[in-house]
Amino acid sequence: MTFASNFYLFQSKAASWRDTLQMGTDRTDSDKVPEFLRSELFELDQHIKQLGETLMEILCEGLGVEINRLKNMACSERRHLAGHYYPYFPEPNRTVGTKFHTDPSVFTILLQDHIGGLQVKHGEDWVDVKPLDGALVINIGDILQIMSNDKYLSVEHRVVANSFRKPRISIAIFFNPGNMEIKYGPLPELITPPLKLAIYKQFTMEDFMMKFRSKGLDGKSSLVDYFLL
């Protein structure tokens, strides 16, 4: 479990006006989770894992590959929860809640509260993602964009600074491959030369995450190092 305030403060032109509590959901590290919320976290994680694997089946069907393809590649095995707290900021035009970026994940499941503030890039415009009671936001991440060979595209998004008197709270759960040693890349089933060539090279998760952490939140920069074409 880690706590952070103003992510990438020394790498960004402006501070991200938020605090974040992060934790992995791996039971082997259960002693790192406070006891008072341990059972609730693991119960939530089981439901989230089931939802994530159902989403993976749907995504595989959309790609035209076997429905358990992503699950069999351990894409549901490494889950990471981040609770974001966005306090009131009286001059919201001077900074952001979270800088624009794409997620370095297979996909992200997000629950936002009623206050809102999440925006996605559409063309050259930023569009509000208005909160819906009981709804979850699913963000395609950079890893799935690579694995799908651009069939699915990661979504560029940001959070504006909170101008409301009440704090904004959101919960994000990131799904990442659990095997840190094998190589990931475009699924071979999606590559049929000469008509469909691989756009990206292969990578290990250790290398991918190390490069992401070195660059921080900066648009779709996670993909730059993996282009083949």
Interatomic CA distance for residues 157 and 120, integer angstroms: 4
Res 11: pLDDT: 60
- What pLDDT digit, counting tens, does each position of 85-97 carry? 999 988 888 888 8
Provide mean pLDDT across the span 95-106: 89
Residue 191 clears pLDDT 90, i.e. is over it: yes
φ/ψ (deg, to 5) at 187 = -65, 130
φ/ψ (deg, to 5) at 176 = -135, 155
The pTM of this model reads: 0.90
* CB atoms near residue 108 (< 10 Å): 24
Provide mean pLDDT across the span 34-51: 87
Q: Which two tokens stand for residue 10?
A: 């020394």
- For residue 131, the SS3 value is coil
Q: Where do the domains of the chain lie? A: 2-181
Provide mean pLDDT across the span 123-146: 94
pLDDT band at 34 (very low <50, low <70, confident <90, very high): confident
Q: Specify the CATH number of the domain 2-181.
A: 2.60.120.330
* CB atoms near residue 198 (< 10 Å): 17
